[in-house]
Structure 1
Amino acid sequence: MKKIAILALCGMLPIPALAQDGGWDFSASIYAWVPGLGATVDTPFGELESKSTGGNVLDNLDMAFMGAFEARKDQWSVLLDLLYTKLSTSKDAPFGEVFSQANVQAEVTAFSGYGLYRSYESDHLIADIGLGLRAFKIDLGTEFESGDLGGDDHSFGGDRSWLLPLVAGRFIVPFNENWFGTAFFDYGQTRSDVSTWQGLVTVGYHFNERWSMQAGYRYMDVQQKIGGLDADLEFSGPVIGVTAHF
């Protein structure tokens, strides 16, 4: 198995810190994320579809890092989120006997910033809505390994950076004094073939006023032309983390 580094500093989409009258509240988390890669790439040899599933998710994950920081005052909050992941997926014997295997590698850095407004708050539901921006840098590579007919291996791909506007929403449901659920969604698009969206759903537990723990699932979809290839990339997997409120 490849060496895997799954690091998180300051967490991903942490829940708001407990209110302090008239002051700023902050929250930070440490998360572990195990994403798989689903890729649909239009190559010179045709459309390639491949997805990491089951036990090969860990084998194909080289590194994943996610970190965020939130500052909140009254009804307003600022949320910064950084995601880095490097992973791959493969497909056996695509396109007949010409190639034995096709591989897709993706190295993704995504930095998102949001301004959120608390539009609703009750004992049963908390809702935040807002706008944001996401900056991407993606290095995408596809490799076709020669098959039974011989010939050369072929590689395609490149890297690209771009920025998209986002709309976002977060919903927190307190189940009781300790247990709560959180859902976060965002969507951004600049044209029909350039878009991104993600969803995060977790269930959490408050140990006390300072510490809580969350576990759930995160999914992110990215569509863009990278290195001359039309690509649709999906990153998804379970997350678990601990949040500190201060």
Structure 2
Amino acid sequence: MKMKPLFPLACAAILAVAASPAAAQVTITPYFWAAGMKGDVAPVAGLPTVETDSSFSDILDELQLGLASAFEVRMGQWAFVGDLSYVDTGVSAALKVPTTQFDSAGLDSKSLMSTLAMSYRVVDGDAASVDVLGGARLNWADNDVRLMRPDDTSVKANDDQFWVDPVVGVKAIAWLSPRWSLTGYGDVGGFGVSSDLTWQAMASVNYHFANGVALTAGYRYYAIDYDHDGFVFDVAEYGPLIGTSITF
């Protein structure tokens, strides 16, 4: 893929910040994201699209692995920022358009999403800060669909794809007191480059109980609409999150 040079560019940006004469400030925020999933999925052309609408409690029954984290490497007004989410799960599914050939469906879905961006602080006050950012979202999805016939036989189809989308966004932090702060984040991208549209929004409340350490709790919504050569990944993942933020 032509956009794969983003990987070495991202590494070069991190090294440039780390090698600066002034000390870089690094923040890492691993968190648990209790995400549900809703949307349409298809691995290959020629077979019916399946749709899923599963809450986190539904997904938890089949969850095999779920990881999420965010990071920031800051040097003054500039920062290299990113997030990473990986989910491996089985969810309930149904045929989007019922057919006489198939009467039910199942879905095993693996998805990886990582946003890498450079940000610039446009507001830097004691009570609040605002950053604008631009970068790329790296996406990988593996769709494993089972289509069941009325006679209890089935058809299985599997495919995976990797793609990259440009994104722009904004992040704001408001300090309520020395111990409490609010964080809001949003981005949008795709613009038809790979996905038709991708966007996410997150809001959290943070309790800073020790120097450089905070507990964070909030809500995150992530959506993507990707359709290429019969491979469909038009889904939204959403739910509460809780984690720990460490700055050093």
For the criterion TM > 0.5, the same-fold answer is yes
Aligned 8 A contact 1:131 1:167 in 2: yes
Structure 2 letter corresponding to 1:78: F
Aligned residue number for residue 59 of structure 1: 61
Task: Decide whether aligned partners of structure 1 residues 241 and 103 sit closer, same or farther in structure 2, where only a CA change above 3 A counts.
Answer: same
Structure 1 letter corresponding to 2:186: F
Aligned residue number for residue 77 of structure 1: 79
1:69 and 1:203 map into 2 onto residues whose CA distance is: 17
Write 1 or 2 for the structure with the bigger share of strand. Answer: 1
1:129 and 1:39 map into 2 onto residues whose CA distance is: 29
Aligned residue number for residue 163 of structure 2: 162
Aligned residue number for residue 41 of structure 1: 41
Aligned residue number for residue 186 of structure 2: 185
How large is the Cα RMSD of the aligned pairs? 2.5
2:188 and 2:62 map into 1 onto residues whose CA distance is: 27
Write 1 or 2 for the structure with the bigger share of helix. Answer: 2
Aligned 8 A contact 1:35 1:61 in 2: no
Compute the displacement of 1:164 (Å). Answer: 1.0
Structure 1 gap ranges (5+): 1-20
Which deviates further from its counterpart, 194-203 or 51-60?
Answer: 51-60
Equivalent pairs counted in the alignment come to 224
Task: Decide whether aligned partners of structure 1 residues 37 and 121 sit closer, same or farther in structure 2, where only a CA change above 3 A counts.
Answer: same
2:209 and 2:152 map into 1 onto residues whose CA distance is: 61
Compute the displacement of 1:179 (Å). Answer: 1.1
Aligned 8 A contact 2:171 2:185 in 1: yes
Structure 2 letter corresponding to 1:165: P
1:173 and 1:107 map into 2 onto residues whose CA distance is: 35
TM-score by length of 2: 0.80
Aligned 8 A contact 2:37 2:56 in 1: no
1:151 and 1:241 map into 2 onto residues whose CA distance is: 44
Aligned residue number for residue 9 of structure 2: none
Q: Calculate percent identity across the aligned residue pairs.
A: 25
Kindly indicate whether residue 227 of structure 2 is the aligned counterpart of residue 239 of structure 1. Answer: no
Which deviates further from its counterpart, 115-124 or 44-53?
Answer: 44-53
Task: Decide whether aligned partners of structure 1 residues 92 and 138 sit closer, same or farther in structure 2, where only a CA change above 3 A counts.
Answer: closer
2:59 and 2:192 map into 1 onto residues whose CA distance is: 31
1:39-85 CA distance string (max 9 Å, x none):
21367465532211263131132211123332111111111322211
1:87-145 CA distance string (max 9 Å, x none):
23213687377545311222112222110101112344211001011111111122112
Task: Decide whether aligned partners of structure 1 residues 159 and 45 sit closer, same or farther in structure 2, where only a CA change above 3 A counts.
Answer: closer
Aligned residue number for residue 117 of structure 1: 120
